[in-house]
A and B are shown apart, each in its own frame.
Chain A
């Protein structure tokens, strides 16, 4: 589970990993410039997709997918235990990851927050 917040003054989206997720992902937080955020989507079905190759992190199929993965040349960051709460955040080419797949407490609110921020430009 991650806590996603937006800092408009600094122009940053922050994903803060909670509890043991810091261990699974090897990260306590990710900071992404808002200009590099292309969109957010609630997408429970993505958890059924092949994950690709694990580059770093933790993968117990059906239990937890966390850390860095590569699939079809794309760099993906995962932190999902409950697929129902998975949110996909697509990033610009300049970012280290092409896509973040992150579990959040309230996917609808998180997607709305990111979409509203992007729509305002």
Chain B
């Protein structure tokens, strides 16, 4: 029996999501996660099982709290330009905005559970663009993700601490 949990799981998952979205899965060590979340290593393993378990939880959370609500909002727009702009804007905001994209590139080829979550996120975006773009929705969804990728490809100035 471990000692009782004394931390905010949601806050920890959200902090972890931001780290994974910034540094990628491989680029985020357990040391990074322990330092940023303030959770004891033992508690982190107890609750999530592994770094992979925490990453899966962060991705699930990203879908439920960011991707799906954003998709629902985009689906209400019937004007093609408005819908596309809303999709690009929503995929470029939030601390975990790049999580889906990074998971798609880095983890999905090796992890069927990540692949399923990534597919769910991309399908949600495609479905959200259907009212405004009809059969062209999948291509537009790819454009949104491609735009996000191009933005990520630009170097950013290191943050001062």
Contact = CB atoms under 8 A, between A and B. Distances in A.
B30 to A, nearest CB: 4
Contacts of A98: 2, 42, 46
Contacts, number: 63
B49 A90 contact: yes
A90 B45 contact: yes
Nearest to A38: B49
Contacts of A95: none
Contacts of A71: 42
Classify the secondary structure of A's interface with B.
mixed
B31 interface: yes
Contacts of A90: 45-46, 49-50
Contacts of B34: 45
B31 A45 contact: yes
Contact of B45 (A44, A88, A112): A88
A32 to B, nearest CB: 14
Given A99-B42, A115-B111, 19 more contacts: A39-B48, A39-B49, A39-B51, A40-B50, A43-B30, A43-B51, A44-B29, A45-B41, A46-B41, A49-B41, A73-B1, A73-B3, A74-B1, A74-B42, A90-B45, A90-B49, A93-B1, A98-B46, A99-B45
Interface of B: 1-3, 29-31, 34, 40-42, 45-46, 48-53, 110-113
